[in-house]
Amino acid sequence: MNNLLTHETKKLFTRKILLFSVALLLLANGFNIYKQYDIYHDIYNKDTNDARWLMYETVEGEITQEKVNGLLSYQKELMTAQEEGRELDSYYLSLSTDLICVNNLLEDLENTYGYSERIKNILQTNDGQMKIYEKVGNDYLVKKAALVRDTYSDRTIDSFYNTKAYGTYFEYDFSSFLIVLLVFLASSSLFAGEKETGMFRLLRSTPKGRRSLCFAKQGALMIFTFVVSLLFFLCDFLVFLWCIRLRGITNPIYCIEAFEYSPLVMSIGEFMGLSWALKYFGFVLLGLVSCIFSSAFDKSYMVFVSDFAVLLGLMFLSAYSNTVLDYINIINPVNLLISRNMFQSFSVLNFFGTPVFTYAVNISMAAVLFIALTAVLSTLNNENGKAKRWGA
């Protein structure tokens, strides 16, 4: 089995077109991120951006009264100078730009500082609702309110960092699309390629030519997917780091505006890891779907066309919200590629009277789908399994 796995993995990693495509698409991905940075650059011109960052660096880190007072007194100084029509001795850039920047910075600081207050208000409302639910005897809603309380209690943000760039980082999906293309390219010919070259019958007549070979091919595809997705993850992270300054990676995930009400309690760095792991899982599931097509069709290009059509269908399903489709969407692997959506808000499903986080259901269903797809693939490659081997 190990030999087969090594051999199949080698086969994948020595396909020149695959290696060339990985390199080309990595470059395309890097260029695309750089281009996005360029758009930021156009909107906030370079000097203003630099001034904003210089000012920001004086307050980033732990929120202290001293830092806030320093900023407030600079704001006062600027406002007085503006009213009196005089100039200060030195600026980060200019009076008007500094004033805009300092106002924005104070607004962000206030927003960060006020987070625990906002959460406290939500919890107070939640407690009130919980009492009403207890009165009317709605057990499910009581449990749901209790879950809200457990999830959001004791939340504070002690450090201030500009986490807006992470919003852009987590919203970025182009690399996932490219990885899916590469996975499809690798998996399309995994089984169909053997049929095209006439090796299929020969392989099936060997002792390990059915289930073992199938598992080896599946394992090789998973290794390939792992390496490719890791490369793209690193590319995304490094280019983003270089382009739009990712700061405060140890801050909790709910520091990011879009994740303010996330049910998760982990750092941004940990969430990056989780997000990547879920994406990888999604790529593997799509790769398995492709392997099934590859086992069913004789021509690898037909497999690729079918894969792409299925991908477009799943993307459409994921974007289309409807009460019926929402339930089908629970097993949609594309949701794992955009896993941020699962964690941005408090979303639960009623599971026999118990509220269960939607993300937990999604991930569990993905695991079930993985087992089901593996079983289908194995069955397809073991048809006539009870019959004697070819030529035996």
Partner 1 sequence: MKVLLNELYKLFIKRKFIIVLAAVLVLEGVNVYSSLAKRIDLDEDSAAVYEEYINKYSGKVTEKKINEIEQLITERSGYETMKENIRREYEVGNISTDDYKTELAELKEKTKGAEGFNKFLGVYYTAVDSDLYIADSTPWNVLFGSGGIDFILVAAVVLMVVALIVYDDESGVNKLKFSAKNGKGKLISSQIGIIVFFSAFTAVCVFAGNLLIARVFFDLDGLSNPLYYAEIFNFSNWDLTLIEGYIYLSAIKTAGCVYLGMLSVVIGQICKSSLYTFFISLIAVYIPGYILSSFHGRYMMPLPSSLLAPNGYFSAMEEGGFEPGDGEVEFVMRVFTEKQIIIYFIAVAAVITALIFVNRLLWTKRRKVV
Nearest to partner 1 of 302, 363 (CB atom) = 302
**Contact string 187-216 vs partner 1 (x = CB under 8 A):** -xx---------------------------
* Angle at alpha carbon of residue 21, lines to 2 and 184, rounded to 5°: 60
CA-based torsion, 206, 210, 215, 220: positive or negative: positive
Q: Which is nearer to partner 1, 238 or 312 (CB)?
A: 312
46-59 and 16-43 are packed helices; what angle lies between their axes, rounded to 10 degrees? 90
Task: Give 267's strand partners.
Answer: 252
- Using CB under 8 A, count the residues that bind partner 1: 25
Which residues on neighbouring strands pair with residue 199, listed in sequence order? none
Measured from the CB of residue 107, what is the shortest distance to partner 1 in angstroms? 19
Residue 12: Cβ-neighbour burial (10 angstroms; 0-12, 13-18, 19+) = buried
**Total length of the chain:** 392
d(CA 99, CA 88): 12
What's the min distance (Å) between Cβ of 28 and partner 1? 5
Distances (CA, A) of 84 to 71, 76, 81, 101, 245: 20, 12, 5, 20, 37
Minimum CB–partner distance for residue 137 and partner 1 (Å): 24
Note the Cα 311 to chain centre separation in Å: 17
Q: Which residue has the tokens 């406290």?
A: 120
CA distance 83 to 199: 84
* Under rule CB under 8 A, residue 17 binds partner 1: yes
Decide if residue 19 touches partner 1 (CB under 8 A): no
Q: How many CB atoms lie within 10 A of CB 146?
A: 15
Amino acid at 345: S
Select from 74-82, 283-291, 306-314, 361-369 the region that touches partner 1 (CB under 8 A). 306-314
Quick one: 28 or 202, whose CB is closer to partner 1?
A: 28
Minimum CB distance to partner 1 smaller for 297 or for 359: 297
Considering only 181-189, 221-229, 249-257, 270-278, which stretch makes contact with partner 1 by CB under 8 A?
181-189
37 binds partner 1 (CB under 8 A): no
Q: Which is nearer to partner 1, 159 or 168 (CB)?
A: 168
Among 1, 19, 23, 28, binds partner 1 (CB under 8 A): 28
Query: Of the candidates 6, 1, 8, 24, which has an alpha carbon nearest to the alpha carbon of residue 228?
Result: 24
For residue 195, the minimal CB distance to partner 1 (Å) is 13
Binding to partner 1 by residue 126, rule CB under 8 A?
Answer: no
Window 260-299: contact mask with partner 1 (x via CB under 8 A): ---------------------------------------x
Contact status: 221 vs partner 1 (CB under 8 A): no
Binding of partner 1 by 375 (CB under 8 A): no
Q: Identify each DSSP E strand in 20-167 by its residue range.
A: 61-62, 159-160
Q: Which of 2, 39, 137, 352: binder of partner 1 (CB under 8 A)?
A: 39
Q: Please work out, in degrees rounded to the nearest 5, the angle formed at the alpha carbon of residue 307 by the alpha carbons of 301 and 311.
A: 150
**25 lies in the binding site for partner 1 (CB under 8 A):** yes
Binding site for partner 1 (CB under 8 A): 17, 21, 24-25, 28, 31-32, 35, 39, 42, 174, 178, 181, 185, 188-189, 299-301, 303-305, 308-309, 312
